[in-house]
Amino acid sequence: MESMFTKIGAYQYTSEALIIKGKLQSEGIDVFMADNHTIDFDPLISNAIGGVKLFVRNVDAGKAKQILFAINRYSVDDSGNPVICPQCSSSQVDLVSTIKDLKSLFSFLFSLLLGLLPFYVKYKYCCNNCKNQFL
């Protein structure tokens, strides 16, 4: 049996998905979320289960993708200008968290043992084009 729904996105946290859901609903598109309660209960498993998924009806998929394409999903600076990769000059740059240094690793393991969210996280920009990471 063919599915009546099309997955249009997956987001690490429910708050991100709710913003996109609100935008699509304001355009008259019904949006359905999956796995949001699981991730709200334990945010650390978001990557393991593929994040919060947004679905729309097949008939609305084209319009929903156009709306999402119009929203700039990449990082911008405080002035609203896109962050540019210093290596390849691409504007397809995301802000990512890393646990590559020793302090981040110990913080992550300590929080995991206590069932808390990590209290020390280091963020870097990562270029989707050349995979360069920079501050």
Domain ranges of the chain: 5-70, 74-135
Q: What's the CATH fold of domain 5-70?
A: Alpha-Beta Plaits (3.30.70)
What does the pLDDT look like over 120-133, one tens digit per residue? 666 788 888 898 98
The CA-CA-CA angle for residues 53, 54, 55, to 5°, reads 120
121 close to 104: Cβ distance less than 8 angstroms: yes
Residue 79 phi, psi dihedral angles, 5° rounding? -90, -5
> What pTM does this model have?
0.58
What's the token pair of residue 107?
Answer: 């913080």
What does the pLDDT look like over 52-89, one tens digit per residue? 999 999 999 999 999 988 776 777 777 878 889 999 99
Residue 22 pLDDT greater than 90, yes or no: yes
